[in-house]
Amino acid sequence: MEFTEWIRGRTDAQLRALVCARPELITPVPAHLDGLASRAGSPSAIGRVLDRLDRFTLAVVETLAVQAGPVSKARLRRLLGRALAEGKPEPELSRALDRLSELALVYGPDNALDLAPGVRKVLEDPAGLGPPVADAFRHHPPEQLADLADEIAPGTSGSGKERLAAALAEPGKLIEEISPEARTALEQLAWGPPTGRVPNARREVRLASARSPIEELLARGLIAAVGEETVTLPREVGLHLRDGRVHRELHASPPGLDGTARDPALSDRTAAGQAFAFTRSVEELCERWSAEPPGVLRTGGLGVRDLRRAATDLDLPEWAAALVVEVAHAAALVDTGGSAESEWLPTGSYDLWRIRPTAERWAALAAAWLHMDRVPGLVGSRVGHGQDRDRPLNALHADLRRTAAPVVREAALGMLATAPGRAPSQEAILERLVWEQPRRRGPLREQLVGFTLREAEQVGVTGLGALSGHGRALLAAGDPARLLAPLLPEPVDHVLLQADLTAVAPGPLTSDLNRWMTLCADIESKGGATVYRFGESSIRRALDAGHGAEELTAMLARHSATPVPQALSYLVADVARRHGRMRVGTASAYIRCDDPALLDQVTADRRAAALLLRRLAPTVIASRSSRTVLVDSLRAMGYAPVAESLDGDVLLSRRESKRSEATAQPRPAGPTGIDPELAAAAVRALRAGEAAHQARREPVAAPEGSVPRGPATATVAALQEAIRSGTRVWIGYLDSQGNATSRILEPARMEGGYLTAYDETRAAVHRFALHRITGVADVS
C-alpha cells in the first residue's frame, strides 16, 4: 500500500488526531491530501515528531528502519522481545504502534508494517548501526569493489557491489578468519557509534598484504572507508555481531521516580511561604528601581554592580536576585525607559499588578517564569564567542535566551507531577527525561533541569522538592491563585515599636504599610518577623519625601500595637528641628542659613569643591550648580537642606516614582496545541480540496441575480454556521478593483480576518478577506 493512499483512507477523526499531534502539517493548510502526505514526509516535520517520541516508541521506529522492507507485527514483537529485559513487549508494543500510526510515522496492516517515506533518511545510525553495505561502499570505484569481491567471494557472478553485498549479508565466515585483535576492534564498533578514525582509510589492501588488524578488516570489507580518515561498520556486519538484536537493552516502561516522601500539606505550606516571599521580592525590587533605577549597559542588560546591589537590598544570593529581575522582566513589570540614557524602570503594568491580590500577583509571575525563554541560571557564566569569550553574561541580556528553556522547564515539572507526595532527585528526573525524549540530550539540558528545580523552589512552585497543589494547577493551565490564596499568611496592619528604636512586624505587612515602613526605617533583618530600625538618615528620608514630624508620629501611633517609645519621639522631633535649617534656591543656586557656623562647615568641607561654592554674605553661599544638584549633593554629604521658592517658601516634594515609557507586554506562553475546532476546519478544507483534486471538477456557474448583501455581523455569523454544519453558501465578494463578484463556497475555517474555503466557481481552495464579503445566502 502506498503511503498517500493510506493517508486518503484515514477517517476524519484520525486526520484530526494527526493534525492535532503534528500542527506543523497544517501551517498553512495543504491544498489536498497529497500535499498533506508530502509534508508529513519532509525531513523537518519528521525530525520534530521524532524528537517527541519516548525511548521504547523510538526503538520501534529504529527496529523498522533497519529492516529491508515491511515486516509483520509478529516479527517486530520477536525482534523487540530479544532486547527487552522483561522479554514481553506487549501491551506496550500495540500502544506504540497505535501512537506511531496516529502520527503517520508507521503505516500499513499488521502483516506489512512499514515506515513512512523519509523516516529512514532522517534517522542517522538507527540504534547505533551503520549504513547498509550498498550505502557504505557507494563512493568506492567499481574497479575497487570488483577486486574486493574477488578477494572475499571468488567465483560469484554479478557486479562488484552486488557480489560484495551478497558476501557481507552473512559475514560469519569472514569474521572467523580475522585475528583476535581485529575482532576486538570490530566489536568496539558493534554497539555504536559505528564510525571510527583511521589514518589513510582509503588505502587499497589485499588479503595477502594485510598486516595490521585494521588492514585485515579493510581487506575483507568488514569496515568501509567513508572519508580520508573515517571508516564505518556496515549494518549487516553490525547485526551479525549483535547476534541479530537491534538494541542491547531496552525497557518498555519508563524508569520510576523514587524520592523522599513529603507530606503534601507541608509541601503546599512551604511552597506558599516561598511564593509570598518571591512576590514581595519582586515588589520591593520595583519600588527601589522606581526611585533609583539602574542604567542599561551599552551592550544591553544589567550591570554586575547593580545586580549585587539588588541582591544586598533583597537579602538574597545573586542567583536568586537574578531570578527576581528576570521574572519581573518576563512578566512585563520592568523594562527599559526608552530615553537616550536608558534605565531599567517599572512599567505602567506594575501599578496595576501591585494592587491585585497576592495570589493573583504570584500566578502572573509564576506563569511568566514557566514560559519564558530566558535562563537566569546562566547569569555570570562565561559562554561568549569570539571577542566576548571571556565576558560573563549579564542579567537581562539578550544572550540569556534559549529556545529549549520553556520546553525543559515544563518537562521537568511534568516529571514531578507524576510523583505526587515525593521529591525525586535531579538524577532520577534526568534519567526519566532521557527515556521520555531520548533525542533531546546534551549538557545544556542537564543544566536546565538543575536550574528548573532550584528556581521552582525559589518561586514557590515546589515545596521541599515536591510539586505543590498550586504548582500542579499552574502546570495544567488551571487556576493556581484559587489554591494558593488560603495558604498565604494574612497581612497585618500593625508593628511593635521597641525602646531601642526598632519596630518588629509580626507578619507580612499590608502593601501600603510595607511601603511606608520601608521609607521611614531601614530593614535590619528578615524572616518570620521583619525588624526595622529607625535612624537619623531614615527619618530624614521620610521628611525629604514631604512627611512632617507630626504626621510621622501620628502614623507610628496609629499602626503600632505598643505605645510610641519616648526615644523615637525625640528622634523624630530632633531630626525635624534640624531639617530645613539650610535652604537652597537658584542663583544658579544658593544656600541660605541663619547659622554662619554651619555655612563655615560647608565651605570647609572638601567634598563641596565640585559644587563651586562662593560666600556672598555670612548667611548666604552661591553655587553654579542647579538647585536640584545642590540639594542632592548636600544631602549626600550628611546635611539636611530643603529647597525654597523665589518667595522664600519651603518646597517639599515627594520621592518621584519613575516609570518606563515602554509598553511592555507579558511574554506569550509556549505552544499549547491546536484548537480542536481549527483542526476540524482544516480537515474539512483538506477533504474539499481532495475532492476537487480527485474529481477535477469544472468551475460551477454562480447563481443569477444580484450578489448577496447584508450586515457584517450577520455575514460572519452565517459563515461560522456554515463551517460548523459543513454546508455550501453563496457569497458576494469585491475583487481588488472593487467589482462585485458571485461565488459558491464550501467554508473550511475563519481566522485572522480571512476565510479559507473551497471555491466551486473557481474549482480551487482560496482565502477570502472578510471585509470584502458583501453578504451570504443559502445555495438553493
Give the pLDDT confidence of 568-625 residue by residue, as tens digits.
Answer: 888 888 888 888 777 776 567 888 888 888 888 888 888 888 888 888 888 888 888 8
pLDDT of residue 610: 84
**Minimal CA–CA distance to 359: which of 464, 453, 474, 458?**
474
* Helix (H) or strand (E) segment spanning residue 40: helix 33-40
Query: For 213-321, where are the E strands, in sequence order?
Result: 224-225, 230-232, 259-261
Q: How far apart are the C-alpha atoms of 564 and 236, rounded to whole Å?
A: 90
Is the distance from CB of 328 to CB of 281 less than 8 angstroms?
no
Neighbours of 469 (CB within 10 A): 19
Counted residue by residue, the chain has a size of 780
Residue 376 Rama label (left phi>0; alpha psi -120 to 50; beta): alpha
Domain with CATH 2.30.30 in the chain: 697-778
Global pTM value:
0.70
Q: Where are the alpha helices (DSSP H) in 506-581?
A: 511-520, 536-544, 549-558, 566-578
3-state SS, residue 131: coil
pLDDT of residue 383: 62
**Minimal CA–CA distance to 688: which of 32, 12, 34?**
32
Q: How far apart are the C-alpha atoms of 269 and 353, rounded to whole Å?
A: 24
Pairing of the two strands 582-585 and 641-644: parallel
Cell numbers given for 753:
480576518
pLDDT of residue 94: 93
**Which overall architecture, per CATH, does domain 697-778 show?**
Roll (2.30)
**Minimal CA–CA distance to 1: which of 122, 123, 101, 95?**
101
Low-confidence ranges of the chain (pLDDT < 70): 1, 338-341, 383-390, 527-528, 585-587, 647, 651-673, 692-705, 763, 780
Pairing of the two strands 589-592 and 729-734: unpaired
pLDDT of residue 668: 42
3-state SS, residue 267: helix
pLDDT of residue 702: 60
pLDDT of residue 669: 42
Q: Please state whether the peptide bond connecting residue 91 to the residue before it is cis, i.e. omega within 30 degrees of 0.
A: yes
* Torsion sign across C-alpha atoms 743, 747, 749, 751: positive
Is the distance from CB of 400 to CB of 375 less than 8 angstroms?
yes
Q: How far apart are the C-alpha atoms of 475 and 486, rounded to whole Å?
A: 19
pLDDT of residue 753: 84
pLDDT of residue 475: 92
pLDDT of residue 272: 93
Is the distance from CB of 133 to CB of 160 less than 8 angstroms?
no
